């Protein structure tokens, strides 16, 4: 659509336009926009792909077929990291992602037709994956259909990024002009309609001077009556201001993309001072929202109302996203165990260690100053 609008602007304008300028501006817009969006999406998708998808059975975590599907192998051609990375990337980039189940495999659709209804389940037809097209249509209650927002974030960003692309085009043009070789040509002959003379000038300006400017060592022969004087000085040298302008405009564009996806701009730009607070903000406002979208859709479609109310559902654990230094959390881990909040095996899993799977490592302990609610007795540490 952007290309059509650009061509319309080029060929319907009443004034003379420079096609190269239009193409240059569009090229910068697409480059900056797509680069920033892809960086944001890859950051979010890669983070969620690290999560553990816990399968619950009547309120207790179990590791069965569903756990293997969500955490190891959703289908024969993708592992779980690849699968969830693609799901999140499509959901953020296209604002939707369709997943269908076929023969126990979860298949991500590359394209589909979505027929929406008010009182009946929506229909999905012409569902394709790579070179395969499903010969049947799917009802909404048969598929996992993830949507990110009410409006396409990428489409909204295109309008915002267009302004930054224009500014970037000007900044790049300024950079190219700064330090470019410039000169003044003087001729004794008054311009005439002599085709031979005009052809000689065109050859001089268009071919010979081009080679003179581009080659490291060059010599140009001037016709009689033509003098060339090259302009030198500080005005012809490149300065860091042009580079700084380009960097600032690009940084502003990245900031707008980060804000659109609820990412702290410093995280996307790599300028992180307070890592813990920035990552916590990222998890709270960005990751938790997307995780909730995925878990809710899986629970209502994959498990269903009856199973969810009975405690059988999917819970996505985001605690494994952050790197944990076991020495820095030793005292806090001891407190969590002593207060009965976590058992020893749960703490070991959180820090990346293998659970002991013993009766005492699975038991929740309380310190002596915390009474047992059942009989007022205390547990040993």
Mean per-residue pLDDT over the chain, rounded: 78
Task: Provide the pLDDT for residue 206.
Answer: 67
Tell whether the model's pLDDT for residue 23 goes beyond 50: no
pLDDT at 101: 93
Please tell me the least confidently modeled range out of 12-16, 208-212, 230-234, 355-359.
12-16
Is a pLDDT exceeding 90 seen at residue 366?
A: no
287-298 mean pLDDT: 95
User: What is the percentage of the chain residues whose pLDDT exceeds 70?
Assistant: 69
- Answer for the pair 156, 260: CB distance below 8 angstroms, yes or no: yes
The mean pLDDT of 12-26, rounded to a whole number, is 43
Query: How far is the CA of 157 from the CAs of 254, 257, 260, 261, 321, in angstroms?
Result: 11, 7, 8, 10, 28
The dihedral through the CA atoms of 20, 21, 26, 27 has a sign that is: positive
Q: Report pLDDT digits (tens) over 97-123.
A: 999 999 999 999 999 999 999 999 999
Residues 6+ apart with CB under 8 A from 306: none
CA distance 113 to 137: 9
Domain ranges of the chain: 1-95+148-177+238-323, 179-234, 324-381
Contact 88, 99 (CB under 8 A): no
- Angle at the Cα of 237 from the Cα atoms of 233 and 243, rounded to 5 degrees: 155
Q: In this predicted model, which residue has the larger pLDDT, 219 or 30?
A: 219
**Residue 100, strand partner residues:** 107, 143
pLDDT band at 279 (very low <50, low <70, confident <90, very high): confident
pTM of the model: 0.70
pLDDT the model gives residue 19: 42
């Amino acid at each position: 659509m952007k290309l059509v609008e650009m061509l319309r602007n080029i060929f319907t304008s009443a004034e003379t336009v420079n096609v190269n300028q239009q193409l240059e501006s569009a090229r910068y817009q697409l480059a900056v926009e797509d680069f920033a969006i892809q960086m944001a999406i890859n950051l979010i998708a890669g983070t969620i792909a690290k999560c553990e998808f816990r399968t619950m059975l009547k309120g207790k975590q179990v590791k069965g077929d569903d756990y293997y599907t969500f955490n190891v192998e959703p289908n024969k051609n993708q592992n779980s990291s690849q699968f969830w990375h693609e799901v999140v990337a499509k959901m953020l980039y296209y604002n939707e992602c369709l997943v269908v189940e076929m023969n126990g495999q979860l298949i991500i659709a590359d394209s589909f037709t979505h027929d929406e209804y008010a009182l009946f389940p929506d229909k999905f037809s012409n569902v394709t994956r790579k070179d395969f097209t499903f010969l049947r249509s799917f009802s909404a209650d048969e598929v996992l259909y993830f949507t990110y927002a009410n409006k396409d974030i990428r489409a909204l960003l295109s309008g915002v990024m267009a302004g930054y692309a224009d500014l970037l085009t000007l900044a790049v043009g300024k950079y190219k002009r700064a330090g470019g070789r410039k000169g003044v040509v003087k001729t004794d002959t008054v311009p005439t309609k002599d085709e031979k003379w005009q052809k000689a000038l065109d050859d001089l300006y268009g071919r010979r001077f081009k080679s003179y400017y581009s080659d490291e060592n060059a010599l140009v022969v001037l016709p009689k009556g033509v003098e060339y004087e090259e302009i030198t000085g500080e005005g012809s040298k490149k300065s860091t201001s042009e580079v700084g302008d380009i960097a600032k405009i690009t940084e502003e564009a990245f900031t707008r993309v980060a804000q659109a996806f609820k990412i702290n701009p410093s995280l996307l730009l790599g300028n992180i001072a307070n890592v813990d607070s920035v990552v916590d903000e990222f998890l709270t406002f960005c990751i938790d929202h997307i995780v909730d979208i995925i878990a809710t859709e899986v629970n209502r479609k994959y498990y269903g109302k009856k199973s969810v109310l009975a405690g059988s559902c999917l819970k996505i654990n985001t605690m494994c996203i952050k790197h944990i230094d076991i020495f820095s959390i030793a005292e806090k881990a001891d407190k969590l165990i002593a207060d009965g909040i976590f058992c020893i095996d749960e703490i070991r899993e959180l820090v990346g260690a293998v659970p002991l799977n013993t009766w005492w490592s699975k038991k929740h302990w309380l310190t002596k100053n915390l009474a047992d609610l059942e009989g007022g007795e205390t547990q040993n540490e």
